[in-house]
Copies of this chain bind each other. A is one copy, B any other.
Amino acid sequence: MKDIQNSIDKRKLSINKTGIKHLIYPMKIACKGDRYQTSVCEFDMFITLPHNFKGTHMSRFIEIVEKYRTKIINLDIIGEMAEDIMKKLEAKSAEIKIIFPFFIEKTSPISKKKSLLNYQCRFVCAIKGNTKENILEVRVPITTLCPCSKEISKNGAHNQRSHVMIRVNSSRKIWIEDIIKLVEKQAPCEIFTLLKRDDEKYVTEKAYKNPKFVEDIVRDIVFQIKKDKNIIWYGVGVLNEESIHNHDAFGYIEGGKTPKCIHWRYS
Contacts and interface: CB of A to CB of B under 8 A. Distances in A.
Contact of A250 (B19, B154, B204): B19
B49 A161 contact: no
Given A17-B250, A40-B101, A148 B200 contact: yes
Interface of A: 1-5, 9, 11, 13-26, 37-40, 44, 46, 49, 54-56, 58-59, 62-63, 66, 69, 101, 103, 113-118, 141, 143-161, 167, 189, 191-198, 200-201, 203-205, 207-209, 213-216, 218-220, 222-223, 235, 237, 239, 241-254, 263-267
Contacts of A16: 252-254
Q: Closest 7 CB pairs between A and B?
A: A156-B208, A264-B264, A38-B38, A23-B247, A17-B252, A153-B204, A252-B266
Nearest to A233: B265
A261 to B, nearest CB: 13
B1 A204 contact: no
Name the prevailing secondary structure of the A interface residues: mixed
B158 A215 contact: no
Nearest to A14: B253
Contacts of A248: 20-22
Contact of A219 (B5, B11, B263): B11
Contacts of A157: 156, 204
Contact of A152 (B2, B69, B215): B2
Given A39-B40, A54-B213, A152-B198, 20 more contacts: A1-B198, A5-B148, A11-B219, A14-B253, A17-B237, A18-B214, A18-B215, A18-B252, A24-B118, A26-B103, A44-B250, A66-B194, A153-B200, A153-B208, A158-B159, A191-B243, A191-B245, A193-B246, A200-B244, A243-B243
